[in-house]
């Protein structure tokens, strides 16, 4: 298994760094451009939540992003040092009354764009996201269809 570990001060500027490392990891894992864009957004949303809502932009608090790449999947862990939250209480961003509001859209995107997303709370929020790596032949065939 390949493993990449980022330990970030909780500043917005570091989210672009997460994007760059994410794109490198996904390219290494064989994801195509579209999937890379989708997954980069999902991981970005989790990192932004960790920095904004979890660590409340306190630079001394650390947000961790860990990529684990094995033969079949990529797993991404995002941890903060915040107080956690109730996942069930996050608003549904697709409810008509919420369409123009902000809350819940980041978690919604994570769930739409990754295969699995789970939340745990252990001295902070720990988000785990997983996506199956593409089989090389699948991407070649997809490319031919386009």
Contacts with 74 (C-beta within 8 Å, 6 or more apart), sequence order: 25, 26, 29, 31, 39, 67, 68, 130, 131, 133
What is the spatial distance between Cα 68 and Cα 88, in angstroms, rounded to a whole number?
Answer: 27
- Establish if 13 lies at the interface with another protein (CB under 8 A): yes
CA dihedral 110, 118, 3, 39 (to 10 degrees): -10
Tell which one of 8, 15, 26, 39 touches another protein (CB under 8 A): 15
- Position among 3, 24, 37, 87 found at the interface with another protein (CB under 8 A): 37
Q: Within 45-104, which residues bind another protein (CB under 8 A)?
A: 45, 48, 52, 93-94, 99-102
User: Which residue in the set 54, 82, 106, 124 belongs to the binding site for another protein (CB under 8 A)?
Assistant: 106
The token pair at 122 is: 């252990």
Q: Interface with another protein by CB under 8 A: which residues?
A: 12-13, 15, 34, 37, 41, 44-45, 48, 52, 93-94, 99-102, 105-106, 108-109, 112
């Amino acid at each position: 298994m390949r493993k990449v570990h980022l330990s970030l001060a909780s500043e917005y500027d570091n989210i672009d760094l997460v994007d760059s490392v994410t794109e490198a990891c996904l390219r290494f894992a064989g994801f195509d451009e579209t999937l890379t864009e989708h997954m980069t957004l999902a991981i970005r949303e989790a990192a932004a939540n960790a920095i904004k809502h979890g660590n409340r932009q306190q630079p001394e608090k650390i947000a961790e992003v860990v990529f684990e790449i094995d033969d079949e999947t990529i797993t991404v862990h995002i941890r903060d040092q915040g107080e956690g939250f109730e996942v069930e209480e996050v608003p549904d961003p697709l409810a008509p009354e919420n369409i123009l509001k902000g809350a819940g859209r980041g978690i919604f995107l994570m769930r739409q764009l990754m295969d699995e997303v789970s939340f745990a709370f252990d001295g902070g929020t720990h988000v785990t996201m997983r996506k199956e790596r593409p089989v090389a032949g699948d991407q070649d065939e997809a490319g031919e269809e386009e």
